[in-house]
Chain A
């Protein structure tokens, strides 16, 4: 099985443009997450979804939106990109939101906003 896939692998985006980062999992996991990873900082949660049809804000949600129309897909949208959104974005999933459930990560999307 593929696990979690993300697209694109990398992207250079002009400031002010919009973009959607795609994430798909085939493990039938209930919970999904979007993180950004910046040098010297830990992974920071942007948005999460505990189950299809629901979403929630993480630590750094401003400038980002998500939707969870079905179990498999969890796209992340930047409505109007700014240079501070230059980062590596990881999508992750877990079977459920409960004790001990490890998160599985996609390969990441490297985004540069100029």
Chain B
């Protein structure tokens, strides 16, 4: 079967760094996406990885290891506005996205 696992909830302090992990088992792999979703809003695209390694985009970085079926999203210099859910999604052999349940990130002052 297909499975995407990520922690349900994490708490971090403003100004700190947090790493959100995602492990996956899917039928085929055509890349991994991270999306951000604020409460009551639509998901918005953060990053895409298809090759192993780290992709950096400002305060956000995403890492992929295809051999381990593992990715993480790294958020630096946390701000209160980063309080949101972070969704991991894998593009399968048909380019359909298989979604994790999301990690709710709580930022404390």
Name A residues whose Cβ lies closer than 8 Å to a Cβ of B: 40-45, 48, 58, 90, 97-108
Contacts and interface: CB of A to CB of B under 8 A. Distances in A.
Interface in B92-109: 94-102
A102 B45 contact: yes
Contacts of A44: 99
Given A43-B99, A48-B96, A100 B50 contact: yes
Interface residues of B, number: 23
Given A41-B101, A42-B87, A90 B42 contact: yes
A92 to B, nearest CB: 8
B31 A99 contact: yes
Contact of B42 (A98, A100, A108): A108
Contacts, number: 48
| Interface pairs A-B: 7 shortest CB-CB | A42-B99, A105-B42, A43-B99, A102-B45, A97-B95, A42-B101, A99-B30
B32 to A, nearest CB: 11
* Chain A interface main SS type: loop
A10 to B, nearest CB: 11
Contacts of B102: 42
Contacts of A90: 42-43
A85 B102 CA distance: 21
A97 B89 CA distance: 15
Nearest to B97: A103
25 contacts: A40-B101, A42-B4, A42-B89, A42-B99, A42-B101, A42-B102, A43-B97, A44-B99, A45-B97, A58-B96, A90-B42, A97-B95, A98-B95, A99-B31, A99-B50, A99-B91, A99-B95, A100-B31, A100-B48, A102-B48, A103-B97, A105-B42, A106-B42, A107-B42, A108-B41
A44 B94 CA distance: 15
Nearest to A58: B96
